[in-house]
Amino acid sequence: MRQASETFTKLPADKRERVLDAAVEEFAEHGFQGASMNRLAARLAIAKGSIFQYFGSKEGLFAVAFGRAVELFKGPLKAARERAKGQGFFEVLRQSLLAGMDFIEAHPRIHRIYLKMLHNEDFPLRERVLGQVRAASAKYFRPLVLEGIRRGELRTDLDPDLAVYVLDTLLDRFLQSLAAAPLDGGLGVFGAERAVAERRAAELVEFLRKGLSA
Partner DNA sequence: AGAGGAAATGACCACCCGGTCATTTCTAGC
Partner DNA sequence: GCTAGAAATGACCGGGTGGTCATTTCCTCT
* Neighbouring C-beta atoms of residue 153, cutoff 10 Å: 13
86's contact among DNA, its own copies, none, with CB below 5 to 8 A by partner kind, is none
Distance from C-alpha of 188 to C-alpha of 208, rounded to nearest angstrom: 19
- Give the CA dihedral 82, 87, 91, 93, nearest 10 degrees: 40
Does 37 bind its own copies (CB under 8 A)? Our answer is: no
Q: b/e string for 172-198 if b means 16 or more Cβ within 10 A?
A: bebbbbbbeeebbeebebbebeeeebb
Q: Are 114 and 133 in contact (CB under 8 A)?
A: yes
Does 38 bind its own copies (CB under 8 A)? Our answer is: no
Subset of 161-200 contacting its own copies (CB under 8 A): 161-166, 168-170, 172-173, 177, 180, 182-183, 185-188, 200
211's contact among DNA, its own copies, none, with CB below 5 to 8 A by partner kind, is its own copies
Task: Tell which one of 4, 61, 178, 204 touches its own copies (CB under 8 A).
Answer: 204
Distance from C-alpha of 104 to C-alpha of 72, rounded to nearest angstrom: 11
Subset of 25-54 contacting DNA (CB under 7 A): 35-39, 46-50, 52-53
Does 108 bind its own copies (CB under 8 A)? Our answer is: no
Q: Are 186 and 180 in contact (CB under 8 A)?
A: no
Subset of 51-90 contacting DNA (CB under 7 A): 52-53, 56-59
Task: Tell which one of 99, 120, 143, 198 touches its own copies (CB under 8 A).
Answer: 120
Does 132 bind DNA (CB under 7 A)? Our answer is: no
Subset of 48-87 contacting its own copies (CB under 8 A): none
- Give the CA dihedral 130, 131, 137, 142, nearest 10 degrees: 160
Distance from C-alpha of 49 to C-alpha of 68, rounded to nearest angstrom: 22
Distance from C-alpha of 154 to C-alpha of 160, rounded to nearest angstrom: 10
**Interface with its own copies by CB under 8 A: which residues?**
30-31, 33-34, 89-90, 112, 115-116, 118-120, 122, 126-127, 130-131, 134, 137-138, 148, 152-156, 158-159, 161-166, 168-170, 172-173, 177, 180, 182-183, 185-188, 200, 203-204, 207-214
**Interface with DNA by CB under 7 A: which residues?**
6-7, 10-11, 35-39, 46-50, 52-53, 56-59
